[in-house]
Amino acid sequence: MNQNISITDRTKALAIRIVKVCTFLNEKPGVCRTLSKQLLRSGTAIGANVREAQSAQSDKDFLSKLEIALKEERETEYWLEILIESELVEKNKFELLLQETKEVGKILVTSTRKVKNKINKPN
């Protein structure tokens, strides 16, 4: 994906992809529907928390929202891995989504580190 896209736009695009995947998974019987609900919740929460961070009241509040987004990213990564490794979905159809999720996670890790350094930096 384009490296110049903002994290808010990137996480929104990821959420839209997650919604589409979950729509597909909901058409399948049994376990896929259950996992779809988990994936939908965590996958859309990433962008929601990034967006919420834009209105943070302080650096600590901003950091908190980004850390929640990172937790949701890790959970989303987990559900995608479960779907792929349990062979409930075709690996080749979900690999790019998993890769994008991991890339978003790397951006969030970098961002949270920068904010932590800013907060902990002596004046």
pLDDT of residue 87: 96
Residues 6+ apart with CB under 8 A from 77: 98, 101, 102, 105
Which tens digits make up the pLDDT trace of 54-113? Answer: 999 999 999 999 999 999 999 999 999 999 999 999 999 999 999 999 999 999 999 999
Per-residue model confidence (pLDDT) at position 2: 52
Q: What is the 3 state secondary structure string of 91-122?
A: HHHHHHHHHHHHHHHHHHHHHHHHHHHHHHCC
What integer pLDDT is reported at residue 91 of this predicted model? 95
Short-list 26, 110, 36, 103, CA closest to 66:
110
Residue 121 banded pLDDT, cuts 50, 70, 90:
confident
Instruction: Please choose, from the candidates 36, 109, 31, the residue with its C-alpha nearest in 3D space to the C-alpha of residue 73.
Output: 109
Confidence of residue 3 (pLDDT cuts 50, 70, 90): low
Q: With 70 as the cut, is the pLDDT of residue 20 above it?
A: yes
Residue 61 token pair: 């509040």
